[in-house]
Amino acid sequence: MNRYLRQLKEGILDQNPTLVQLLGMCPTLATTTSLENAFGMGMAATAVLICSNVFISLLRKFIPRQVRIAAYIVIVSGFVTAVELLMRAYLYPLYQALGLFIPLIVVNCIILARAEAFASKNKVLPSAMDGLSMGLGFTFALCILGTVRELLGSGSLLGYRVLPESYPDMVVFLLPPGAFLTLGFVIAAVQKLRGMSEERRRRRSAAPADTAAGATAPVAADGAHSAGEADGAGRKED
């Protein structure tokens, strides 16, 4: 259980595919004009990630190494087609909003990277958890960008007005330049937080060593003092 929780934490926070590994930039920039679109894209990619990881893990011993990438793309494209048809049937407005970026999930580098780096080398359950954690991490990053861009760009969230009517909508955040600006600031904030966390971890690990060094110093001093007294006593006897 701890292993799976650690996988989940790494996928969402420590090794976030978008904010840390900087993968999947194309859909990250293009589909985050609103929180709804960002969440829909993230969930579609998560479903494909889980299914493709499980299937590739099941077939990992049967896929020839020479054609593994082509095999992965065929497997992924099958699940992407299924997701696309389901969205077209039951979530048509979202399907229209995401448009071409749904079939482009096939070549999403996050999915191919996890297939090659993890699913092709591990059993089914860890591969499924890896797909879930990376998919949730991708969704988390998209939702952050979608929230910021929709809130600043139109003053609303999920179609509901949040900021007062007097707020001047900054339409630039709904355009490509706004996507790059938002992504840059979010990545900078994440890197700052990671640096602070690592610094605290280093200080915490260094504290016991300093304590142990401080505790051994008096012992060494007492030993030297005792040795000096013994030496002085020996000289007196002589």
Cβ atoms of 30 and 183 within 8 Å: the answer is no
pLDDT score recorded for residue 78: 94
Please give the Cα distance from 119 to 137 (Å, whole number): 17
Beta-bridged to residue 160, according to DSSP, are 157
- pLDDT, the chain, mean: 86
Cβ atoms of 135 and 45 within 8 Å: the answer is yes
pLDDT score recorded for residue 201: 86
Highest mean pLDDT among 1-5, 13-17, 222-226, 234-238: 13-17
Express each pLDDT in 199-209 by its tens digit: 888 888 887 65
Angle at 189 between CA 46 and CA 11, to 5 degrees: 25
